[in-house]
Amino acid sequence: MAKLPLGRRTILGPGDDCAILARSRAETLITIDSMVEGVHFDLEWGTPEQLGSRSLTVNLSDIAAMGGAPTACVVNLALRPGLTMRLIDRVYDGLRRAARDAAVDVVGGNVTSARQMAITIALLGDAPARPLRRDAARPGDEIYVTGTLGDAALGWRILAGRVRAASSARRALIQRYLEPAARLYAGQRLAELRPAPAAIDVSDGLVQDLGHILEQSRVGAEIDASSIPTSAAYNDVMKGDLSLALGGGEDYELLFCVRGRHSERELTRRLRIPVRRIGRIVAGRGVRIKRASLPGIAGWDQLRSRG
């Protein structure tokens, strides 16, 4: 297994009982996430490199949602019988590339046997002076989201054989599921705004993740369904059905609530990714979705079977 490169912040990397990191001037962000075979991935759906990269990206997205800068991680790899060393090396190749691109040091880890393959990563990051938090939304804030929604959930359903799509749309949607992007730069630029916006990454679905902000901030929201950003590939397959854009999950876009006068154009320029205004924060509780009749949208819950 090839050695993982380390930066100057790492005093002692893999090989000892603990890693040693230089003390940072910033406060520390800590997050952990797991990907389990049969729940979050199927080895037949993509390459091992994509799996390795994706396993780190979902953690990077948490750091992005706080406006932070990732620094170092440790990896636990659970392996079932029948997996080859070549496959494991390729998973680490993908992880290594994602770590390099995000300037993250992989400073240690563990390998254990299990009935199902699983990758668990604990990631550290430097917090900005004013982190983006879920409890910062206030009535009157405008609600925005980066990128497009629903692509990853639709890509998953195509891979699972539940939805058919033309070849061009199929490729784009599957890629969004297998190769998500963490919006690190966008999160860091959002953290420069005053007051700092409330924010979350869209991992469980727009409605469910917005609900986390509303619960923590003790407010409500109005969403205009006609403003939800969707891709051409999504529209080609779903024909106006917004259920996956609102509740599909695993897009890893940033959902944020901004006070004051901002425009989509200004925020798009600042964050270097398309931004769409989709609603506003109001007094009260719960989410009201205008211009849509979409019963039963709950989002992605890994403790339920997937629909």
Both 103 and 160 in one domain: the answer is: no
**pLDDT, average across residues 197-221:** 97
| CATH number for the domain that contains residue 203 | 3.90.650.10
Q: Give phi and psi for 37, each to the nearest 5.
A: -60, 135
Residues 216 and 271 in one domain: yes
For 48-76, what is each residue's pLDDT tens digit? 999 999 999 999 999 999 999 999 999 99
Of the candidates 79, 97, 126, which is a domain's last residue?
A: 126
65 part of a folded domain: yes
| Residues 118 and 196 placed together within one structural domain of the fold | no
Provide the pLDDT confidence category of residue 166 given band limits of 50, 70 and 90. confident
- For tokens 């080609």, the residue is 236
Of the residues 97, 126, 155, the one at which a domain ends = 126
In-domain check, residue 3: no
- Cα distance between residue 55 and residue 68, in whole Å: 18
Q: Tell me, yes or no, whether 115 lies in a domain.
A: yes
Q: What does the pLDDT read at residue 298?
A: 46
Distance (Å, whole) CA 143 – CA 276: 9
- Please indicate, yes or no, whether residues 138 and 286 belong to a single structural domain of this protein: yes
Q: Are residues 65 and 28 in the same domain?
A: yes
Angstrom distance (rounded) from CA 140 to CA 280: 6
- Residue 175 CA to residue 241 CA, distance in Å, equals 21
- Average pLDDT across the chain, whole number: 92
- Model confidence pLDDT, tens digit, residues 92-117: 999 999 999 999 999 999 999 999 99
- Please tell me whether residues 50 and 146 are part of one structural domain: no
At position 238, the amino acid (one-letter code) is M
CA atoms in the 13 A half-sphere facing the CB of 147: 22
Give me the mean pLDDT over the 23-36 stretch. Answer: 96
Query: How long, in residues, is the chain?
Result: 307
Q: Nearest 5°: phi and psi at 41?
A: -155, 160
Fill in the amino acid letter for 246. Answer: L
Nearest to 205 by CA among 289, 133, 139: 289
What pLDDT shows up at residue 85? Answer: 94
186 part of a folded domain: yes
Mean pLDDT computed over 113-142: 97
Among 78, 101, 126, the domain boundary falls at 126
Residue with tokens 């190769």: 179
- What is the pLDDT, as a whole number, of residue 89? 95
CATH number, domain of 41, equals: 3.30.1330.10
Which two structure tokens, joined as six digits, stand for 242? 């917004």
Task: Specify the number of domains making up the chain.
Answer: 2
Query: Nearest to residue 59, comparing CAs of 75, 43, 44?
Result: 75
Residue 176: which domain range?
134-290
pLDDT on residue 3: 65
Q: Are 120 and 76 contacting, i.e. CB atoms less than 8 angstroms apart? A: yes
State how far the Cα of 102 lies from the Cα of 206, in Å rounded to an integer. Answer: 25
Residues 67-89 as b or e (16 or more Cβ within 10 Å = b) = bbbbbbbbbbbbbeeeeeeebbe
Query: 3-class DSSP state for residue 30?
Result: strand
